[in-house]
A and B are shown apart, each in its own frame.
Chain A
Amino acid sequence: MDWHQLWEIAAAPDNIPIVALLFLVPFYTWYGLRQALENDRLLARLESDPQMAKTHHRKTFPFKPGWPREVHVWPYLMRIEFLAAIIVTFILMVWSITLNAPLEEPANPNLTMNPAKAPWYFLGLQEMLVYFDPWIAGVLMPTLIIIGLMVIPYIDANPLGNGYYTFRQRRIAILSFCFGFLGLWVLMIIIGTFIRGPGWMWFWPGQTWDHNRLVFEVNRDLHQTFPFNYLVPNHWIPVALFGGTVLALYYLAAGYLVHRLMTGNEFTRKIYKRMSLLQYLTIQFFFVTMVGLPVKIALRLLLRIKYVWVTPWFNV
């Protein structure tokens, strides 16, 4: 176990934000979900007891009749904002005094840094470069992510959970978002920072980052892997067709599963009914595509498969 190495990575000034992330994200996830579960419990009580439902103010926060339903921004909100400002300033000052912003050698095009890493918030995409062609990882995905995020409000047909934490009422939504945000974004960044060493090789935490490390990896395209290499004649047309079909199949299969999920219980069915076709299809597309990433990652890391769909112009 090479603690020194671990410390080196963690202590690198530019990695501090990620280290912070390691603590902040779990905390706030827990913090949010705790709220959600409280509300769920409240909801459960209300549903079981219609009388209460009539009278209750329907929040987990204490409330007595006579208390104002609204409070003045000044001072009640202002003072909090004020406090927040002070604390942030304090944090920032201390951070800046204790840690120097990195400044390395003057730029030198002839001497590549190893590993050469993008700014940490793009590490997710850089990690994707391992599994996908640049045009997917570097261009298509960001675009899809942005669009995907932007359309969320328009495809979420669930009228519940507007303005309060809840899990029960929005299981699918929350789970899939956490999957995307935590699983695909934050996790990838952490991998990119702590796991990916020189030559963008996979180093388990505590493994020494050795520039001279050698690993044996042969990545084959799907159609070359047994048993397909017998089936698919080695000409681009059949190869392309084969890959295309496989991909299509995946979309169908996954799409079916997603559909099952969306119509899993009677509540989700209710929501499903509310959806327009457009909404439904968009959800399907993004959902399936998103799930596609871990699938591909798994294919690569476990089965060493490079591409599924190979064409003369692009590969997937």
Chain B
Amino acid sequence: MTDAEAKDHKTAGTAPTAAKAQKAAATNGKPVIEPVKLRRRVIWAMIWGFVAANAFMIMRFFFPRTLFEPKSIFTVGTPPDFGLGVDTRFQQAYRIWVVRKPERLFVIYARCTHLGCTPDWKESENKFKCPCHGSGYDSDGINFEGPAPRPMDRAHVELNAQGQIVVDVNRLYTCERGKPCHFDDEGAYLVV
């Protein structure tokens, strides 16, 4: 007897008919069981379906539709707000530095490429210094000392219709040694 049939018995007893009764008589009283297979399969399918659906619901339950975390896309004012050099205004709020070079403006994502600490901007030495393992970056965020493997990543920047700078720290531009450098990609900087 197959597994399926065994299951069938759990859900429903036998469904006798006159014919069955005779047959039973014929085969020395032993009942021949002919369950309504399709119906039972359907039922089980539905039950397991329901359970599966519930599993899915519970999974989904753990991913709320909104969060109250700081935004990863935000505006930081207009280009004229930034003088030449490194601007640390938004380090606290968004963990970025806005760097204004003579001809372009870009945003460095303040995360050391070594182990992800947040470096500090040392105005006097004109460099970023990582407190964790002493990686040093120049004002462009290019590493020149310490264990950092590559320059600090840069965040995506663009101007919106109101002319404000929109930063997106979800889209980072890297410049790894030996790999093509993305710092000059469209969106990695703004021309000012």
Contact = CB atoms under 8 A, between A and B. Distances in A.
Interface of A: 74-76, 78-79, 82, 86
The 4 closest A-B pairs by CB, nearest first: A75-B10, A79-B11, A75-B9, A74-B10
13 contacts: A74-B10, A75-B9, A75-B10, A75-B11, A75-B12, A75-B13, A76-B13, A78-B10, A79-B10, A79-B11, A79-B12, A82-B11, A86-B47
Interface size class of B (residues with CB under 8 A): under 10
A78 B12 CA distance: 10
A74 B13 CA distance: 10
B115 to A, nearest CB: 45
A208 B10 CA distance: 56
A78 B7 CA distance: 12
Contacts, number: 13
Given A75-B9, A76-B13, A79-B11, 10 more contacts: A74-B10, A75-B10, A75-B11, A75-B12, A75-B13, A78-B10, A79-B10, A79-B12, A82-B11, A86-B47
A26 to B, nearest CB: 33
Interface string B5-22: 000011111000000000
A196 B9 CA distance: 54
A74 B11 CA distance: 9
Interface in B37-71: 47
A75 to B, nearest CB: 5
Contacts of B9: 75
A78 B13 CA distance: 11
Contacts of A79: 10-12
Contacts of B12: 75, 79
Interface of B: 9-13, 47
A86 B11 CA distance: 13
A96 to B, nearest CB: 12
Contacts of A82: 11
A79 B13 CA distance: 9
Contacts of A86: 47
A100 B158 CA distance: 45
A144 B47 CA distance: 46
Contacts of B10: 74-75, 78-79
A82 B12 CA distance: 11
A76 B12 CA distance: 8
A153 to B, nearest CB: 36
B55 to A, nearest CB: 15
Contacts of A75: 9-13
Nearest to A78: B10
B24 to A, nearest CB: 14
A79 B10 CA distance: 7
A76 B9 CA distance: 10
A73 to B, nearest CB: 11
A76 B13 CA distance: 7
Nearest to A82: B11
B41 to A, nearest CB: 16
Nearest to A89: B50
A12 B88 CA distance: 57
A230 B11 CA distance: 78
A75 B11 CA distance: 6
B105 to A, nearest CB: 46
Contacts of A74: 10
Nearest to A74: B10
Nearest to B47: A86
Contacts of B11: 75, 79, 82
B113 to A, nearest CB: 47
A82 B11 CA distance: 9
Nearest to A71: B13
A75 B35 CA distance: 14
Contacts of A78: 10
Nearest to A76: B13
A68 B11 CA distance: 20
B123 to A, nearest CB: 49
A50 to B, nearest CB: 36
Nearest to A86: B47
B33 to A, nearest CB: 12
A79 B12 CA distance: 7
